[in-house]
């Protein structure tokens, strides 16, 4: 099965949390597109809804929300994800990934859109030491 690192951002506090998604949690993300809202229960976030905002594959190639499919393509781009022009009008051919989460992904970025009963800090705070 595939494993993902999910970087979950909390818009209220501005903090982000890393979740190692394996098994059923990783399966809940496979085939989903950037911008899709997913239930947070497989990640231990009962009552939460999270939205996929991006990701990258094993080589660090970023995913574009406007590129359909899950394969890598070389696009001629002038601005946007994975490219910042050095001078006005510059365009460059860059490798980009499609917007569908596939098994090649290593990291999936997401943000919280609907909050549950427990606060996020309570969920991710490690248990108190003895």
d(CA 61, CA 15): 24
Instruction: Supply the pTM of this predicted model.
Output: 0.89
Please give the Cα distance from 121 to 74 (Å, whole number).
40
Ordered structural domains, the chain, with CATH: 3-67+99-119 (3.10.20)
pLDDT (tens digit per residue) in 96-123: 999 999 999 999 999 999 999 999 988 9
Beta carbons within 8 Å of 19's beta carbon, 6+ residues apart = 5, 6, 7, 8, 25, 43, 44
End-to-end CA distance of the chain: 36
58-85 pLDDT, tens digit each: 999 999 999 999 999 999 999 887 788 9
Q: What is the pLDDT of residues 27-39, one digit of tens each?
A: 999 999 999 999 9
CA distance 68 to 25: 23
In tens, the pLDDT along 37-48 reads 999 999 999 999
Q: Let me know if 4 is exposed, middle or buried by CB neighbors in 10 A (0-12, 13-18, 19+).
A: buried
Instruction: Determine contact, residues 79/85, Cβ cutoff 8 Å.
Output: yes
């Amino acid at each position: 099965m595939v494993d993902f690192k999910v970087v979950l951002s909390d818009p209220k506090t501005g903090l982000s949390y890393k979740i190692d998604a394996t098994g059923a949690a990783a399966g809940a993300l496979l085939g989903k597109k950037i911008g899709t809202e997913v239930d947070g229960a497989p990640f231990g976030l009962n009552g939460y809804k999270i939205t996929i905002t991006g990701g990258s594959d094993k080589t660090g190639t970023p995913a574009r929300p406007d590129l359909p499919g899950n394969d890598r393509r070389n696009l001629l781009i002038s601005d946007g994800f994975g490219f910042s022009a050095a001078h006005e009008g510059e365009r460059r051919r860059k490798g980009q990934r499609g917007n569908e989460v596939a098994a090649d992904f290593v990291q999936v970025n997401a943000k919280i859109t609907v909050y549950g009963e427990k606060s996020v800090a309570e969920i991710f705070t490690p248990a108190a030491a003895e």
